[in-house]
Amino acid sequence: MERINPFSFYDFGKTIQTLIELSGDLPTTRVFWPLWQAKAKMDSLLGGQPIPIGITDGKAREAVLRMNSLWNDRFQTKDAEGKSTLRFPDEKDAPINGWELNWIRSAVGEFETVFAEEMRETATYFVPRRGIYHTPALVDAADQTFPANLQMHIPEKAKDDWRAAGRCLAFNLLSASGFHVARAVEACLEVYYQLFSGKPGETLNGWKDYIIALEKLAAKKPTPCPSKKTLAELDQMREDYRNPIVHPRVVLTESDARMLFANGESLIIAMAQEIAEAAKGVQQPLQLEGGSNTKAPDLPETAVTASA
């Protein structure tokens, strides 16, 4: 998937139109710049910009061939060594004949006919805004929703899934968005568990196992300690969303997907905040203020002993 600038189509059409509107015998100074620009736009189109073309390619090449023929004849010259160099127009030059411009115009007309048909079949979509989210940010950088000072405490695989969740939400792939939200939260939960259990690298079978293990740790009230509030919210998300969305018969509505997206964002921020505080040996579970970690940061030795 690539983003395109819709204005480029307008600019392309305007440039080509400036050339084909030329008619009659004209001085070279009048033709030089429109021909230069039109050639450049057609070359870019043949190079795949703003989008690759298919059946139009042949007609585009024929139009460029005719433009180049006129260009080489009137605006190129060869030095003593036979090397072609640019020749700027001069008021003393013989005028360019109208039939030469008509020759180019006819090729461009054939190109436009085929190009119009190809563009009619080209998949072009408008992505509406989802809530308050800026569409380009939701498509390309959904993970930037997390506070900058917590980015280093969120696993990279959680960010990858979160970006995928944002992209799916933007394109109305609502159940897929929910699936990636759950994966992102689970990736963060894995690191959250490893930190508070003092067992780097250990993974459990599923959310329920992680939550039960963390609740047992919280009951011992070690320092640092996982927040009971966060664990309760994780368990609620597990029951309300995570378990249901693995079944094909469950389809999320836009309201469901947006609520899950907001819920997942809140939980990831909460866990990242606790991870950050625990890594410093100080926990403030109710403070949700403000990467590349893929494993839990090391706890102070005393904290690991207390939680074990």
pLDDT of residue 1: 67
DSSP state, 77?
Answer: E
139 and 22, same domain (yes or no): no
84 and 200, same domain (yes or no): no
Query: Could you say which of 56, 87, 120 is where a domain stops?
Result: 120
pLDDT tens by residue, 202-223? 999 999 999 999 999 999 988 8
93 and 170, same domain (yes or no): no
Q: Is 127 among the domain residues?
A: no
Confidence band, pLDDT 50/70/90 cuts, at residue 25? very high
161 and 64, same domain (yes or no): no
DSSP state, 151?
Answer: G
Domain count, the chain: 2
Confidence band, pLDDT 50/70/90 cuts, at residue 191? very high
Q: Is 126 among the domain residues?
A: no
Q: Is 22 among the domain residues?
A: yes
Q: Is 1 among the domain residues?
A: no
Residues of the chain with pLDDT > 70, as a percent, come to 91
CA distance 280 to 297: 10
Query: Is the per-residue pLDDT at 24 higher than 80?
Result: yes
269 and 178, same domain (yes or no): yes
Tell me the HSE value of 72 on the side-chain side, using a 13 A CA sphere: 8
Confidence band, pLDDT 50/70/90 cuts, at residue 281? low
Across 83-87, 107-111, 196-200, 277-281, the highest mean pLDDT is recorded for 107-111
Q: To the nearest 10°, report the CA torsion of 85, 91, 92, 98.
A: 90
186 and 209, same domain (yes or no): yes
Q: Is 128 among the domain residues?
A: no
74 and 150, same domain (yes or no): no
109 vs 80, which has greater pLDDT? 109
102 and 151, same domain (yes or no): no
- The per-residue pLDDT of the chain, averaged, comes to 87
For helices 7-20 and 98-120, the axis angle rounded to 10 degrees is 150
- Name residues whose C-beta falls within 8 Å of residue 45's C-beta, 6 or more positions apart in sequence: 12, 53, 60
pLDDT of residue 234: 95
Which string of b and e fits 134-148 if b means at least 16 CB within 10 Å?
eeeebbeebbebbbe
CA distance 62 to 108: 8
Q: Is 289 among the domain residues?
A: yes
Domain extent, residue 116, equals 7-120
116 and 140, same domain (yes or no): no
CA distance 201 to 185: 17
